[in-house]
Amino acid sequence: MQELAIRHPGSVVSVEAGRALEMAQEFERRLAECSTLAFRVAMGVLHNHEDAEDVAQEAFLRAYRNFHQLRERFRAWIARIAWRLAIDRWRSAGRRERREQERSMLRPHPAWRMWRPRANFSGISSARWTNCRKNSGSF
């Protein structure tokens, strides 16, 4: 794209390529100014280094995608994106924990199988078994 702009100065392609290059340079400059802001905001919410890095990276990606809209208030916008993403991650982690706790409560504990009495009727003859069933009344 830049080659086209160099070969045909003054064309629509060269203007768009020049504007895109200018926007990319401005984004890099602003990113350098507030590179740790998104991480610090996310770390304040999540208290987990890896999750905070993920949130900061996602915030910078969203900022890059919409940089044409937020040139004026970039620092405030990046802090707000990081804050909302961190809150969303914190909430989803809480929902995941509750869901896992509910599932573990529904599943029988593995030790439960050890305490359950196991009947072994292989040594009982069929006549004795029939007699047991008649006398117990529960079968």
Position 92 in a domain = yes
Position 111 scores a pLDDT of 61
Residue 132 resides in a domain: no
Residue 86 near residue 52, CB atoms below 8 Å: yes
Examine residue 125 and state whether it is found in any structural domain, yes or no.
no
State the pLDDT confidence band at 5, using cuts at 50, 70 and 90.
very low
114 within some domain: no
CATH number at residue 76: 1.10.1740.10
Look-up of token digits 């064309």: 11
Residue type, 66: N
In a domain, residue 95? The reply is yes
In a domain, residue 129? The reply is no
* b/e map 99-133, b = 16+ CB within 10 Å: eeeeeeeeeeeeeeeeeeeeeeeeeeeeeeeeeee
Interval 91-117: pLDDT, tens: 998 888 888 888 877 766 666 555 555
Question: Can you list the alpha helix ranges (DSSP code H) found in 1-139?
Answer: 2-7, 12-33, 37-46, 49-65, 74-106, 112-115, 126-136
Q: Is residue 120 part of a domain?
A: no
pLDDT of residue 70: 74
Tokens 């080659």, located at residue: 3
What's the CA angle centered on 91, arms 88 and 97, to 5 degrees? 140
Tell me if the pTM is above 0.75. no
Range of the structural domain that residue 61 is part of: 2-109
Instruction: Report the pLDDT value the prediction gives residue 73, as an integer from 0 to 100.
Output: 85
**Amino acid of residue 82:** A
- Quote the number of domains for the chain: 1
